[in-house]
Amino acid sequence: MSDTNNYQISLLTAMNSKLAKSENMLKNICNISEDAYIYVDYEDKKMHVLGNWSYFFDIEADSLVSLGQIVDLACDDYLEGLHHILNLEKTGETKASFEFKLRDKQLNILSRVNILYDEAKFPLWKIISFSDVTKYTNQNEELQYMAYYDTLTGLYNRNYFVMSLNEMVEKARINNTVVSVLFIDVDDFRKVNDGMGMIEGDEVVQSIGFGFKALMDDNVLVSHFNSDVFCIAVYDPMGRRSVDSIIEQIRTVMSKPFKLVNGKEATLTVSIGVAEYPESTSNYLELINLAEIVMLKAKNKGKNNVQYYDRPIIDEFISNIEIEKKMEKALKEQSFFMNYQPQYDTATGKLRGVEALVRWRSDEGKTVSPETFIPIAEKNGAILTLGDWIIEECISDFSKWNEKHIGMDDFLISINVSSIQFKNKSFVKYLISMIQKYNISPTNIELEITESVFIDNMEEIIHKMRILKDFGIRFSMDDFGTGFSSLSYLRDLPIDTLKIDKSFVDDVVTDGSTRTIAESIIDLSKKLGFDTIAEGVEHEVQYSLLKNIGCENIQGFYLGKPMSFEDIDNLLSERD
């Protein structure tokens, strides 16, 4: 054999050895990999299987026909896409990828294909890889679920609702139809959390959500916004998905007690606000806001109500918002001031004391009625700051009168206290600290409270009253007879005075039934050891009648309008 032939043989041997090593290295890499591979050689018409094949498929892939078997293993939803990618050479594409799911093994598999063509565009070889992406797919699905769904109820969450409502409104604009939004708030839900616990509260919300889920269809979107708030959007409401029908279905869900795992039951109601596109607004975000605003109106009407969009409600809401902003400024700039209305003893004609009445001077110089700003202050919490200011201002004013005038031992300054203010944990401590700061006797202070203060926790309120009563402070029941008056609880209250409401005084002369009620209140007060004050007395005939039927004290324009600190000071000087 010639040297040339020996050289060629040696060269071929070396090349074959190098190729064998490369092939062996490639196989080892594939076998170590967690993926599976198919190498298709179109020239030799052979298929080679590499890597972690058995992890994915329980078939032998030894021919081109076996690719069809892989398609058969996939879930039905993926058959067309998988068939396309495994036969990619039919399209002339060089690479592609597709994710599919196996029927039996419940694996999510990402398949990638690469093909090499010759100059004539015939395939030379094809590599198909299979990777297990189940973990990542599940994570993505979980993230997608969290992005669209509320984890507590399984309903759509706020973000998805807002996005879908936008699409609904746009579709309604094109099709010239209606979209209704129902804003639903569970009444007194705080009592469930406080009385049963937050876990039980979540269970109740889940039960409500389960009931509301039955309302969903292609044109009805139900979502859980947060805590005790749900929102429903209805595209083209009609028939069973009309607003009235959906409200009736909501009532049915809420009509039965919700049974909890621990055996307890919760019976609840909801307040609902309804706004519609395009009548209420053309903006999808405003649609939600308007539905919420009118829902608040439904709640203020006594709860368990439905309120439809009405422009005056929105105007009132906007006005209240403006008052809130001005009130915040007024508190900082001390634009509030006190007036005092005198109270007189009908038997002696002497000045019994005064009722403190807060006033607000606006930037325009006008006096704003407390009937306007007090309810707003109670809703937004400003009543706590305002109430503290009132207490200190009144006690400070009284201390000045007390230093200047004689005979003030039995003089009373009556201070109205909001139920929210009285329930505040720091109220008792603050009041006592103000009395001590200005060095006055607590017996000169009379707190006026209304019956609403007892609604939530009567025992706790009475306990606070007894603490202050033992300290020397008096209590007056304001607006008696207009609330949830009950003779059974009245005997247990540590009060000193019953105040006859102006609504009785207005008709006490002309209406016999009203006069009978007034007489009964006065007689009841005497038997229970209470004083009586009639407020809103504006005419002499009212004064005379009330005096004759035994009312001990009178307050009203007939004897004196609300006065400034200086006017009361002059009145006390005349008394001296």
The DSSP symbol for 288 reads H
Supply the angle between the helices 79-86 and 66-73 in degrees, to the nearest 10.
160
Distance of alpha carbon 218 from alpha carbon 94, whole angstroms: 41
* Residue that is written with structure tokens 């990999």 in the block: 33
Average pLDDT, rounded, for the chain:
86
Give the residue range(s) of CATH 3.30.450.20 domains in the chain: 12-137
Nearest Cα neighbor of 475 from 414, 424, 434 is 414
Residue 397 reports pLDDT greater than 70: yes
pLDDT digits (tens, 9 = 90+) for 356-368: 999 998 877 788 8
The predicted model gives 57-73 an average pLDDT of 72
Angle between helices 243-255 and 198-213 (to 10 degrees): 140
What was the pLDDT predicted at 488?
61
User: Is the separation of the CB atoms in 420 and 452 below 8 Å?
Assistant: no
Tokens read off for 292: 């919420």
Q: Edge-to-edge, what's the strand order for the sheet holding 179-186?
A: 220-226, 229-235, 179-186, 270-277, 306-308
pLDDT in tens, 147-183: 688 888 889 999 899 999 999 999 999 999 999 999 9
- Distance, in Å, from the CA atom of 563 to the CA atom of 568, rounded to the nearest integer, reads 6
Q: Where in the chain is the domain with CATH 3.20.20.450?
A: 339-575
Least confident span in 145-149, 216-220, 323-327, 513-517: 145-149
Q: Phi then psi for 129, rounded to 5 degrees?
A: -115, 150
Q: In Å, how far from its chain's centre is CA 321?
A: 18
**What are the phi and psi torsion angles at 480 (to 5°)?**
-65, 135
The CATH architecture assigned to 12-137 reads 2-Layer Sandwich (3.30)
How far apart CA 347 and CA 197 sit, in angstroms, is: 55
When mean pLDDT is compared across 37-41, 173-177, 466-470, the lowest value belongs to: 37-41
* More confident site: 553 or 105: 553
Beta strands in 136-198 (DSSP E): 179-186
Six-digit token pair at 450? 């209304």
- The reply to whether CATH 3.20.20.450 applies to domain 339-575 is yes
Helix, strand, coil percentages, rounded to 5, for the chain: 50, 25, 25
- pLDDT-derived band of residue 31, with 50, 70 and 90 as boundaries? low
User: 209 is written with which tokens?
Assistant: 């959500």
Whole-number percent of the chain with pLDDT over 70: 89
Where do the CATH 3.30.70.270 domains begin and end in the chain? Answer: 149-309
Q: Examine the pLDDT at 91 and tell me if it is beyond 60.
A: yes
Rounded to whole angstroms, the Cα distance separating 143 from 382 reads: 41
Residue 487 in 3-state DSSP? helix
Name the token pair of 269. 């109601």
Hunting for tokens 């070396």 — which residue is that? 14
Topology of domain 149-309, per CATH?
Answer: Alpha-Beta Plaits (3.30.70)
Tokens of 400: 């000045």
Closest CA to 44 of 63, 23, 60, 26: 63
pLDDT of 7 over the 50 cut: no
Q: pLDDT band at residue 105, thresholds of 50, 70 and 90? A: confident
Among the residue ranges 149-153, 228-232, 290-294, the one predicted with the least confidence is 149-153
